[in-house]
Structure 1
Amino acid sequence: MNAKSLWVALPLLAFLALVGLLYSGLGKDPQKLPSALVGKDVPAFSLPSLLTDETFTEQSLHGRWQLINVWATWCPTCHIEHPYLLTLAARGVPIVGINYKDEAGLARDYLANRGNPFVQVISDDSGQLGLDLGVYGAPETFLINPQGKILLRHAGNVDERVWNEEFLPLVPAGQWGKAQ
């Protein structure tokens, strides 16, 4: 093969490689991104509360079944998900919010104006906790058992269908009162 025919074939080979890469992603659910942390402890952290003078650590997440919800005011899907989080909180589901790479004042105003579904709100200004959790973006929600282990990671909006199909089957009956 001479140099001229190599230059003719190179774009075709690049195109075929790209088609193969794109084809390999067809049929994959973007909501089911893999998480290396499922079955493992919540990563170590020490971060301030968004709303109080408290500091939270991974030990703060031990002792009960709960959700961790990564959210931000700049996230459009978080605005869509928020009313359902309020519904879950009203049903007795403890939700810890991680305010991710957000402006604290905007986040406090958001919760004051739209309601606060969270039992605690951790401020992750730098995004390091999100990075340690493997967060791709907001919203992401994690199911945590009483020992502080991550049992499920869901990327995207949590709604009634996601709640019933993904979260509830993993939680022992009666853990959240009216939530089931």
Structure 2
Amino acid sequence: MNSNIENSSGEDYIARELRAIKETIKRCCCALASKEWKVDCNCKCQGGGRQCLCVANSVCESDDDGVATVTVPANSCITKIYASFVQEMGEAKFALIEGISEGTIFFCHRFVEDSNFGGEFDTTLVQPLCVGDEDVTFTVTAFAPNGDIQDNALVSLTVVYCEDCCTPVD
């Protein structure tokens, strides 16, 4: 008895599954699906006539004074942002994440505590965010209920990005 289950066209189940796996690899991992591939500076690589995402970089900072800051290089595309704060019970109530380039805030988000001990925020940007021609500084700051910086909160910030991703617009 054949252990492979065949469909009406005589194709066995294992062969169909192997083809499906191969197609998934082609779509998601072009570097594996093709011997010839290239990076096209848009957080994607090209291979076998298809584009897929490439390896990203990250910067991370953690500090216990209520503020953490990281810098993302110019011409990078941001794909993910993670931030958190931890404090004594009930002290910090919210935190603010800001991305500033050339004195202009181009990303800002507040998040509140989700327990008595802290809060967290994470986002995956559907469309990578281009930081432009200058480095960008991201800061997360924990605040007390009265609006003062909560300088004894432990904060952390991670930004994931692809380098040399932005294409100048003519």
TM-score, with structure 2 as normaliser: 0.31
Larger Rg: 2
* Higher strand content, 1 or 2: 2
* Higher helix content, 1 or 2: 1
